[in-house]
Structure 1
Amino acid sequence: MKTLFFLSIFCITCILPAFGHCLDDQKSLLLGLRNSLRFNHSDSTKLVYWNHTKDCCNWDGVECDVFGHVISLHLDGEMISGRIENSEYLFNLSYLEKLNLAFNDFNGIQIPRGISNLANLTHLNLSYAGFAGQVLQEVLRLKKLRDQDSPYKSATSNSLTGTLSSMHFEGLLNLEYIYLIYNFLSGNIPSTLFALPSLQQLRLGDNEFCDSDSSLPLLPNIRVSRLASCKLQRFPNLHRQSRLFDLDLSSNQLKGEIPNWIWEIGNGSLVHLNLSYNLLCGLQKPYKFPSLYNLDLHSNHFQGELPIPPLSSVYVDYSYNKFTNSIPGSVFLFGASFFSVSNNNLTGEIPPSICSATYLRVLDFSANALTGSIPPCLPKKNWHLEVLNIGRNNLSGTIPDIFSVNCSLKTLALNKNALRGKIPQSLINCPILEILDIGNNRFEDTFPCMLTKTLLHVLILRSNKFYGDLHCPKAFQECNNFSGDISLLPFSTWRGMVSADDNKQPEYDHLYVDFPTVSGYHGDAGHYRDAVTVTMKGSILTSIGNLTQLGFLDLSVNKLTGKIPVELASLTFISFLNLSYNKLFGKIPEGPQFRTFSLASFEGNIGLYGCPVDTSCNKKGSDGSTPGFQNGEVHLKREIDWDYVSAALGFAVGFGSTVLLILHCKRFREMCLGKLYQILLKFFPNY
């Protein structure tokens, strides 16, 4: 026993000195590589610290084996921009097993052929590196290669072109991962790619491939298959897949029905399925959903009844199809965080069973033909709900005034329905509310002063029956029956204006809601684009009280009276202002931003004067006279105009005379050219 113990100690003491002790030839190659590369020293976190004083096996980005050979080189994010094409230093690191050149900028050069000299490579990552050109056969035929990232998840990554030949993948028996998304690869997907025995993940999306031979089966080891935007017209034959759990065939040209055998892939192990942006019209019957977590069928041509999602669903998107009938009452999404059936042709009422989904963060039933009232459980029980969009339907009744004290709503969109009554006072329980759209309904109420306690960015009240004066602090309204003195509004407390394109009629774009992805799935489930797009004309966008962001200010088509508050001119970041068609009077305040607004912002107010209305250059001075037309200034303006005209005529005559002399007088022309030659010699003595 003692002998075994001392033998172990002896072995450890013998090995430790060798482990990580850099060999001289390896250090020389690394230092030569460092000195040959072009990189940004200020941004470098690895190369810039390589020097003679430290063991190279301890350098950042370098790993060695027990004999001191460099086996791993991670130069990702070093901002390398060139001089790697023929690097004798890099390609002589013959023991190298892992090479990571991701997140650099090689400026569109071809993948170096010298990489094929690294015969021991098992991992190669060239993602986001800026390579271009053909996929080199020499690179793909590295026999020991198991993992190839080139490139992964970025539209700004490489620009590889050409076709993938069948010879590229012959003999790669150990290759497990192929990431070639976001390139410009074309042609057919080679059959040998589907015959790699160790392949687990295949990601070829967002290229310019033609349809592949869908009769070629993938071997059973494949676990992740991402073939989005590959111009597939048929479903690949996936019958034999026993381990596939993530399948993405989105943005292709798949037609007809989803074959029912697809639900049996992996013997029920399929959990992520994305078939969005295709031409699919139905599901082949009979079908039985497996225990899917993510089911994305949006933007197809599905018709008929809405398929009941599996109970295990976390993310379900049926939006932008042609589903009809009502939402089934047997929809139970106990663990779902996202459910959207927007932009279909659904009718009937919102089923109470939807309230069983107490973990929902996004619920979107918008743009259908739903009727009935809003189920009380939606505002009461969904404590995690961040987006509730049931606008553009035929809902009636009132909004239940039972929003819970731990309300998490960020967006509440009820626009274009037939809702009536008052705005619920319990909305004060939703402190992080950012968008409230109740426009185009039948509400009869005064201004919702309780919203001063929220983080509201967008408030749409247009086309209702609001009434009353503007006595609510730090609040305003538009396109209803509001009246009152606009100067009572405390505009000086408003901050955080959102910028916009001055040349376009502005609008709020979309609200993105982040929520955790499921089981490592990184598809579209990570974000929700809230399609509450706000039209500015005839509507109101406001920040109330202490709101941190106010969008565009539109108070047009109301009965507002009084003067425009001077405080408005202090909002230096305001990008859009519309005060037209009210009963405002007095001088328009002066300020940097006010000078950028056109006449359309103030028209329809007979009592206004000053820039930029029609009399902007004729605004009255303090003595009642007309500035700009007194003390002989009209005559001065004419003199200035004639000065410009005289200067222009003088230049034209002088320039014309010079040109005529050069063209018709040889002596004058030679003299000019000689002077010009002397001047050039002073600046370019070697000329």
Structure 2
Amino acid sequence: MDVILVTGQCLSNQRVLLLQLRNSLTFDSSISTKLVQWNQTTDCCRWNGVNCDYAGQVIGLDLSSESISGGIDNSSSLFSLRSLHRLNLASNNFDFAQLPPEFGKLTSLTYLNLSESGFAGKIPSEFSQMTRLMTLDLSTSFYSLELENPNLKMLIQDLTELRELYLDGVNISAQGYEWCHSISSSLPHLQVLSMSNCYLSGPFDSSLLKLRSLSVVRLDGNPLFSSIPEFFTNFSNLTVLSLSSCDLLGAFPKKIFQVPTLHTLDLSNNRLLEGSLPEFPENGSFQNLVLSYTKFFGRLPLSIGSLGLLSMIEIRSCNFSGPIPYSLASLTHLVSLDFSSNNFNGSIPSFSLSKNLTEINLYNNCLTGGIPFSNWEHLENLVFLDLSYNFLSGNIPAPLFFLPLLKVMYLSNNRFSGRISEFAIKISNLLGLEVIDLSSNSLEGQVPKFLFQIQALASLSLSSNNFEGMIELQIFENLKNLVDLDLSYNNLLVSARDSNSAFSLLPQFTTLRLASCKLQELPDLKNQSRLMTLDLSDNQLHGEIPNWIWELGNGQLRFVNLSHNLFSNLQEPYVFHRHDYIDLHSNVLHGEIPIPPRSAAYIDYSSNNFSSSIPADIGNHLPSAFFLSISNNKLTGIIPGSICNASRLEVLDLSNNFLHGTVPSCLIEKNSTLKVLNLTGNNITESKGTPFQQKFQPGQNARVSAINI
């Protein structure tokens, strides 16, 4: 609310009405900063949230964010404050109570803000009686209000003084011609039109051109299914145009980019909207440019560097290409830059003058060269850095890890090489980094010791590099925030030799990946109560698979990969829980096939020594499975008919066993979900004894892309 100086002394009847209002409202006194201080001993015109005119009449009431709950009674004293010009009840929780029609009695109101206040139901027709309103805000993120009777036209037809209309989240459900004409014919002075997520449809109607003062247009989240007309360029005061997630079609008019007053344009999440960027005018007003998830294409013009006020540019997942203009380095107000998932090539700009940058996201492009850290040392506000999935090379400069506010660093899937040098710095300076991903590069040498001293570290991935040396698992026991660790596929030797008590001090992981780490002993992970992903594949582990493995994460372990080891059997008794992914292939497991849990989507038991028959009811245990392989074992017997109950199965591989009998007909029916069926290396026959492959004609099942029988 605007500040109104208090010069009059509170009138007694006004004090009585305010106290009655206070006593009728339910609010949390520990949160309240206004109502909790109202009392009879002080002038009510000096109460927090209250403004009076010279005569002592209450003309302003701000009870926003007062933790008010419950409803407002129709007889509330609020509706007797007839001199109110401004009323703000935003950000409370009226528990989805109906909007009282008595608001219509406050005919002196010029400002009414009920946004995010928790009201529900139909907006009363009496709201149209507040004909002096200049600002009306009924926006809600709960989608709990609707305009039906009155409809939009009936609500606003007498509110001719409105300058700002906020109905975000209100169910209006109107066609383009209807809502455009209702607004343009009733609100000649409108400056702000904010109706996001209102179930409005298109197309835009040219009647909107009557709104000569229109400055802000927010229509995000409406299913407009429309092109954007060029007449938006005629709004000479246009500053904000936000049309994200509107199912926009066709080509976006380039001239709109050149509206001199426009500072915010958001067209994101319109996947059928096409366009390219024009040359920008000198000293353009743009501050925020968001085009992510559209079909915009082409090169970024060099003139983008002339947008001296540009603060945010997000063009994620478009079709831009060519080099990133070096002129971006001159943008001193730049805070957030997201060019991810495009086709940019060439080198990374220096951003030499962009000292306010907090985010640089260049993920998934075709960038080459190195990290220009000599120009980045001044990026002291940088919080998020993603350069992953490019073709960047050279060394990773160690000082990059010590930018003071950096929390997230993704450098994976590049061509970085060499060693990361140890860096002389006080441990107290290692405060900020929470995520480090250096995976899938060609880094070598010892893992820098400073990585094990970053107390805030929550995720560390060093997989698929050439790091070497030995790492004791206990080195991570001081990183209490670490939940995601991946050391897989290096030349590391990870040692798990220590007492059980030492492993009990390890952080509580949700993901632990130690594939190909030369592990010879299974780490004692019995205390890992949050673990959801465990990968110990391609090691030298042997003996039984302990039954406590399946209990990890308090039964919430989802992903288990113990493949490419020397495990001989599963310790009895064991109980599978809600595992989604179980990979035990390439061990020396023998005996009966473990019955997978019903939750499992991926099961691989291949290349072991299982010698049982396939359980008759196995298909009943596979309602979620899309992949099942028990190939290269010593299975006997037939393929049970229950396999037909595995209705989502896409890959079935039972090859190289000692199976006989016939193939259940469901596996080759046209409505089968199977895409790969491999039964080679068995003795599968038709019912008359003829080998099945002599009778089967490839291509019978159009959905199966590979059949080997």
TM-score > 0.5 by shorter chain: yes
- Write the distance in 1 (CA, Å) between the matches of 2:470 and 2:434: 23
Shift of residue 328 of structure 1? 5.3
Change (3 A) 1:446 1:284: closer
- Residue 404 (structure 2) pairs with residue 376 (structure 1): no
Q: Where does residue 534 of structure 2 map in the other structure? A: 554
User: 257, 272, 285: which is aligned to 1:269?
Assistant: 285
Q: Where does residue 183 of structure 1 map in the other structure? A: 170
Q: Where does residue 557 of structure 2 map in the other structure? A: 576
Q: Where does residue 226 of structure 1 map in the other structure? A: 218
Q: Where does residue 401 of structure 1 map in the other structure? A: 421
Tell me if structure 2 keeps the 8 A contact 1:427–1:451. Answer: no
Shift of residue 343 of structure 1? 3.2
Can you list the C-alpha shifts for 1:481-532, whole angstroms capped at 9, x where unaligned?
xxxx47567122246566xxxxxxxxx6xxxxxxxxxxxxxxxxxxxxxxxx
Can you list the C-alpha shifts for 1:429-475, whole angstroms capped at 9, x where unaligned?
644332111223333332277655544332111222322x62xxxxx
Tell me if structure 2 keeps the 8 A contact 1:204–1:228. Answer: yes
Gaps of 5+ in 2: 262-282, 597-709
User: 238, 256, 259: which is aligned to 2:254?
Assistant: 259
Change (3 A) 1:179 1:367: farther
Shift of residue 276 of structure 1? 2.9
Change (3 A) 1:284 1:392: closer
What letter corresponds to residue 389 of structure 2 in structure 1? A
Can you list the C-alpha shifts for 1:206-240, whole angstroms capped at 9, x where unaligned?
33222352754596765554332233631664435
Tell me if structure 1 keeps the 8 A contact 2:98–2:122. Answer: yes
User: 476, 490, 493: which is aligned to 2:505?
Assistant: 493
What letter corresponds to residue 159 of structure 1 in structure 2? L
Can you list the C-alpha shifts for 1:3-59, whole angstroms capped at 9, x where unaligned?
xxxxxxxxxxxx99x9343333x4554465566x57467788466887878765566
Tell me if structure 1 keeps the 8 A contact 2:300–2:320. Answer: no
Partner of 1:444: helix, strand, or coil?
A: strand
Shift of residue 126 of structure 1? 1.0
**RMSD over aligned Cα, in angstroms?**
5.2
Structure 2 matches for 1:408-419, cutoff 5 A?
408-419=432-443
Q: Where does residue 485 of structure 2 map in the other structure? A: 459
Partner of 1:379: helix, strand, or coil?
A: helix
User: 297, 300, 304: which is aligned to 1:281?
Assistant: 297
Tell me if structure 2 keeps the 8 A contact 1:218–1:241. Answer: no
- Write the distance in 1 (CA, Å) between the matches of 2:517 and 2:197: 40
Q: Where does residue 205 of structure 1 map in the other structure? A: 196
Partner of 1:412: helix, strand, or coil?
A: strand
Structure 2 matches for 1:589-628, cutoff 5 A?
none
- Write the distance in 1 (CA, Å) between the matches of 2:126 and 2:325: 49
Change (3 A) 1:124 1:554: same
Change (3 A) 1:583 1:452: same
User: 289, 292, 295: which is aligned to 2:313?
Assistant: 295
- Write the distance in 1 (CA, Å) between the matches of 2:252 and 2:398: 36
Change (3 A) 1:273 1:371: closer
Shift of residue 400 of structure 1? 2.6
- Residue 407 (structure 2) pairs with residue 386 (structure 1): yes
Structure with bigger helix share is: 1
User: 361, 368, 391: which is aligned to 2:383?
Assistant: 361
Tell me if structure 2 keeps the 8 A contact 1:603–1:613. Answer: no
Tell me if structure 1 keeps the 8 A contact 2:491–2:517. Answer: no
Tell me if structure 2 keeps the 8 A contact 1:146–1:175. Answer: yes
Q: Where does residue 242 of structure 2 map in the other structure? A: 248
- Residue 57 (structure 2) pairs with residue 69 (structure 1): yes
Shift of residue 122 of structure 1? 2.0
Can you list the C-alpha shifts for 1:560-598, whole angstroms capped at 9, x where unaligned?
4699999999999684396956678999899xx999798
Gaps of 5+ in 1: 1-14, 471-475, 477-484, 499-507, 509-533, 615-687
Shift of residue 118 of structure 1? 1.0
Structure 2 matches for 1:525-674, cutoff 5 A?
551-552=531-532, 554=534, 556-557=536-537, 558-560=539-541, 575-576=556-557, 580=562
Partner of 2:251: helix, strand, or coil?
A: strand
TM-score with structure 2 length normalisation? 0.61
Bigger radius of gyration among the two: 1
Q: Where does residue 446 of structure 2 map in the other structure? A: 422
Change (3 A) 1:539 1:116: farther
- Write the distance in 1 (CA, Å) between the matches of 2:31 and 2:422: 56
Shift of residue 123 of structure 1? 1.9
- Residue 141 (structure 2) pairs with residue 124 (structure 1): no
Q: Where does residue 75 of structure 2 map in the other structure? A: 87
Tell me if structure 2 keeps the 8 A contact 1:494–1:543. Answer: no
- Write the distance in 2 (CA, Å) between the matches of 1:600 and 1:169: 57
Partner of 1:554: helix, strand, or coil?
A: strand
Partner of 2:99: helix, strand, or coil?
A: coil
Tell me if structure 2 keeps the 8 A contact 1:401–1:425. Answer: no
Structure 2 matches for 1:84-163, cutoff 5 A?
84=73, 86-87=74-75, 89-135=77-123, 138-139=126-127, 142-151=130-139, 155-156=141-142, 158-162=144-148
Change (3 A) 1:588 1:75: farther
Partner of 1:446: helix, strand, or coil?
A: strand
Change (3 A) 1:564 1:106: same
Change (3 A) 1:304 1:192: farther
Partner of 2:492: helix, strand, or coil?
A: coil
Question: What is the identity percentage for the equivalent residue pairs of Structure 1 and Structure 2?
Answer: 26
Can you list the C-alpha shifts for 1:402-442, whole angstroms capped at 9, x where unaligned?
55634543221122334444322343564433211122333
- Write the distance in 1 (CA, Å) between the matches of 2:127 and 2:439: 57
